[in-house]
Amino acid sequence: MEEKIKEAARILAESKHIVAFTGAGMSAESGIPPFRGEGGIWNKYDPASLDIEYYYRYTQQSWSIIREVFYKYFSSSVVKPNPGHEILAKWEKEGRLDCVITQNIDDLHKVAGSSTVYEFHGNMSRFVCSKCGAKFPAQSLKLTEKPPVCPDCGGLLKPDFIFFGEGIPLDAYNGSVEAAQKCDAFVIIGTSGQVSPANMIPSIAKQHGAKIIEINMEPSTYTKHISDIFIQGKAGEVLPKIDEEIKDKR
Ligand code: APR
């Protein structure tokens, strides 16, 4: 692994435009379970409960699962960024990293200090009214077992993350494609690559000549055909090691 970390650090030290593309594995060391693989959320819950039609049609059933999986869990434990999130925020501050494209809805990149974050699947720390469109921070709402309603108009509130069957936020989509086309190094961190259209972003970077570095606990759909370097390990441990190596190259 050490050789690959050195090689990744050499590539990143020479890169002018780095983009990080993160999935649930990025937050695993912050105590948030991934969706697939060992301990995955979809091993316990049916993803259909996150389908937008299901939410509007069977609101109580869908909300009970959403609250259990995302909100009860988050409010009960202090979920905070891990060293991996912090390194990405540091690289942005150093002018090394252009942006983070994340599939995660946990807000941890922003909490860690990253500012250009394209939230491909939205963000669970906000709710949006399905009737009047007003948005509210999750903390400002009392999230009980009853589906949340809009303080302004009484309409049904929906977590501001993207349900299956919903479109990707246009600003996140366009920003991500543009960044992937422009970057010279693209770091894929903790994603299985199972969900489209997010999973086509790495190939855009590849097609535009970027060097692809992948950090994952196990091979993903990218490892064979897209990744130039595959580093098997935990995001929160590998990223600080790469940063250490880059420091020595300054
Ligand atoms: N460090 C690095 N990688 C890790 C770690 C870790 N500590 N722990 C787990 N992983 C890897 C797993 O090996 C797996 O490849 O993270 C990946 C998590 O994959 P998924 O659970 O499928 O998460 P993700 O790829 O982000 O899912 C994409 O699916 O359900 C939807 O909207 C949801 O955004 C999510 C999308």
Q: What is the pLDDT of residue 250?
A: 57
pLDDT single digits (tens) 132-160 = 999 999 999 999 999 999 999 999 999 99
pLDDT grade, residue 247 (50/70/90)?
Answer: confident
Q: How many other C-beta atoms lie within 10 A of the C-beta of residue 234?
A: 17
Residue 36 lies in a domain: no
Residue 213 lies in a domain: yes
- Between residues 49 and 94, which one has the greater pLDDT? 94
Judged by phi (left if over 0) then psi (alpha if -120 to 50, else beta), residue 184 lies in: alpha
Same domain, 6 and 46: no
Same domain, 143 and 177: no
The CATH number of residue 153's host domain is: 3.30.1600.10
Same domain, 223 and 107: yes
Q: Ligand 1 pocket test: which of 195, 230, 241 has the largest number of ligand atoms within 8 Å of its C-beta? A: 195
Asked if the model's pLDDT at residue 249 lies above 90, the reply is: no
Asked if the model's pLDDT at residue 77 lies above 80, the reply is: no
Token pair listed for 7? 């090689």
User: Per DSSP, which regions of 103-161 are E strands?
Assistant: 117-119, 122-129, 135-137, 157-161
Q: Are 36 and 133 in contact, with CB atoms under 8 Å apart?
A: no
Find the range with the poorest average confidence among 25-34, 41-50, 153-162, 181-190. 41-50
Give me the domain span that covers residue 61: 41-73+126-161
Give distance in angstroms: CA of 109 to centre of ligand 1.
15
Give distance in angstroms: CA of 223 to centre of ligand 1.
14
Residue 157 lies in a domain: yes
Looking at the chain, the whole-number percentage of residues with pLDDT higher than 70 is 97
Q: What is the pLDDT of residue 74?
A: 60
Residue 190 lies in a domain: yes
pTM of the model: 0.95
Asked if the model's pLDDT at residue 58 lies above 80, the reply is: yes
> What's the mean pLDDT in 212-233?
97
Residue 99 lies in a domain: yes
For the chain, how big is the Rg over CA atoms in Å? 18
Ligand 1 pocket, residue 70 CB under 6 Å: no
Same domain, 7 and 92: yes
Q: What is the pLDDT of residue 78?
A: 78
Asked if the model's pLDDT at residue 76 lies above 60, the reply is: no
Q: Are 126 and 138 in contact, with CB atoms under 8 Å apart?
A: yes
Same domain, 117 and 52: no
Q: What is the pLDDT of residue 227?
A: 98
Same domain, 175 and 235: yes
Examine the residue annotation and report whether 121 is marked as an active-site residue of this protein.
Answer: yes
Give distance in angstroms: CA of 44 to centre of ligand 1.
15
pLDDT single digits (tens) 114-130 = 999 999 999 999 999 99
Number of structural domains found in the chain: 2
The CATH number of residue 182's host domain is: 3.40.50.1220
Q: What is the pLDDT of residue 123?
A: 96
Same domain, 17 and 61: no
Q: Over the chain, what is the mean pLDDT? A: 95
Residue 141 lies in a domain: yes
